[in-house]
A and B are shown apart, each in its own frame.
Chain A
Amino acid sequence: MEPPSPAAATTFRHRRPQPDPDRAYSTRPAAEPCLGLADSAAWACRAGMPLAPRPAPRHGARWLPWRGGRWRTVSPSGAGWRARASSGLRTALVKVVTSCAADVCARLVFDGMPDRDLLSWGVMLDWVSEEGLGIINSDGMPCARYIQGCNFARIQADDPVHLPRGVQSAPIFRIVSKLLSCSINLLKEFRKDEGDQPLLMEPVAANVPELPQDVLMEIFDHLEIPDLVRAGSVCNSWHSAYNEMRSLGIYRLSQTPCLLYTSESAGDSVVCFYSLVEKREYKIALPEPPIRSRHLIGSSLGWLVTADDLSEMHLVKPIFNESGDLRSGPVVTLKTTIGIVPDVDSDKMYIVQAPCGGLLHHFNARRVFNGMPDRDLVAWGVMLDG
């Protein structure tokens, strides 16, 4: 494979986050674009570029991202970093998707937490953000603007049938949906007959008036994730609209931030999140390893990156109970890749998702190796999410 051209590299848009030093957490827009860094690793492998094996950290120490994009080991007592990183899961990280109002809310809840057993502020629910990554189909044409972590592989796999929302709601599709929808009055008549003619009910039940799928999706677009999930289990029609939204990644609403935390009473593998909108708590049992014993490194697009004391990394997406192990180092697949990289000028790590399409492939690779002066690339990894 040819190395990427400089021109391609310059087309990459990167906006740096501006953390507020006054806060116990930092804010930044969702999906900070570290586009497809894992792809670059794939490229590096094929180009014969060695990926530095991660040296075993000293006892009790772990790898941490250092300012300037380098990686270093830091002992648990290491000054400076201890406050931020080695307190691990207790580090508060707030990722407010878009609005300042939500930010204020987040702050209020944080201040009001009685026991401060605080894993993370995270907007784990931000399936998709306006700043999301682009999806490019096999022809190199932009396919949809939004990306959703766990469904990405599906989008790729189903190519080329997938249409972005804009195309889907183009007149011809709307007309088709209208032609398929039945006359409302006729359907109401069916409902009235329900009691009198039980024998007729079998075929009739399938004809209960249903909103066209595009209208349903517009409605679902206004729901918070818990409401959306529940709406998806009302009936077949709603369920397929819900599935469609997930698989197309067209869920647009900026989600209200949720407080994510663990507690002793809930158990080691259970993560709780507090919904500001509903003012209630949800508990999600996660697969092994127990989340409570791990250090949270960051979150993105609903994924959490955690690490244990030996820096073995693990990815988990609590909402859909998906997880991926990064322990075995780079694994390259042709579907979806996820990488974790430090941002050059901050101490954040990013989870990165990208298609392995030819176009992205090039400048992603370029981006990674330009961005890492010492090539000490220790913590990127990829996983399948299908």
Chain B
Amino acid sequence: MAAATDDAGDSNEMIRVVSSDGEHFEMPEAAANLSLVLRHMIEDDCADAAGIPLAVVAAKPLAKIVDYCTKHAAKSSGLTIEEAEELKRFDAEFIEVDTDMLYDLLVAADFMGVEGLSKLAVQRTADLIKGKTPEQNRETFGIVNDFTPEEEEEICKENEWAFQITKPPSRLC
């Protein structure tokens, strides 16, 4: 993470952040500025040696977010086409994570206000939802079906067409 300091442009100060489980991370100020929350903290002079505590973000997703921000901050201005493509590739690889991590990233990015990462994770989640039946979605995301049978029947009935299965014909939903 510290390696990117030189690329980070006008700012070379390192910002320390602390995850919910007490792990410390460092990133260049330019990277931290990608997070709305961190930027406001820095502007308000709350970024001290002890680090900014992020009570909702655990170490694992925070490491990924620091990674993401550092990469993007280093490449933020004057992108050539190659660099833009490389960044795209980085994003594509970056978001290839399991649903638990995806969930952590969604919540953390939303909490920290990292817009680019939020969009990336949201898009990825939407892609995972697409083309699946409700049951498949529950399996994918480990969601418990908390409808009562009556509720479920009513919901399925309301938009019966969406649950049609073309081949092979079987139960609705």
Contacts and interface: CB of A to CB of B under 8 A. Distances in A.
Contact of B20 (A183, A215, A238, A284): A183
Contacts of B145: 234-235
Contact of B129 (A183, A214, A223, A278): A223
Interface residues of A, number: 43
B22 interface: no
Contacts of B137: 230-231, 234
A384 to B, nearest CB: 19
Contacts of A320: 159
B122 A215 contact: yes
Interface stretch (B41-49, B70-78, B89-97, B100-108): B100-108
B147 A222 contact: no
Interface stretch (B6-14, B25-33, B160-168): B160-168
Interface in A213-252: 214-215, 218-224, 226-227, 229-236, 238-239
A324 interface: no
A209 B108 CA distance: 13
Interface residues of B, number: 42
Given A178-B56, A181-B107, A283-B161, A230 B134 contact: yes
A281 to B, nearest CB: 7
Interface string A315-340: 00001100000000000000000000
Contacts of A188: 100
Contact of A232 (B111, B141, B155): B155
Contacts of A184: 58, 103-104, 107
A222 B123 contact: yes
A205 interface: yes
Interface string B130-173: 11111001100111111100001001100101111010000001
A206 interface: yes
A221 B122 CA distance: 9
Given A282-B161, A282-B162, A233 B152 contact: yes
A230 B122 contact: no
Contact of A230 (B127, B133, B166): B133
Contacts of B21: 185
Given A174-B110, A211-B106, A185 B58 contact: yes
A238 B123 CA distance: 16
Interface string A168-206: 000000100010010111001001000000000000011
B126 interface: yes
Nearest to B55: A183
Given A185-B58, A223-B130, A231-B129, 11 more contacts: A178-B56, A181-B56, A209-B103, A211-B103, A218-B118, A218-B122, A230-B162, A233-B134, A235-B146, A239-B155, A282-B162
26 contacts: A181-B56, A181-B107, A183-B56, A184-B58, A206-B146, A208-B144, A218-B118, A219-B129, A221-B122, A221-B126, A222-B123, A227-B131, A230-B134, A230-B173, A231-B134, A232-B159, A233-B155, A233-B163, A234-B138, A234-B141, A234-B143, A234-B145, A235-B146, A236-B147, A278-B131, A320-B159
Interface of A: 174, 178, 181, 183-185, 188, 191, 205-206, 208-209, 211-212, 214-215, 218-224, 226-227, 229-236, 238-239, 278, 280-284, 319-320
The 10 closest A-B pairs by CB, nearest first: A222-B126, A229-B162, A284-B161, A233-B155, A229-B159, A234-B134, A233-B134, A219-B125, A282-B161, A234-B137
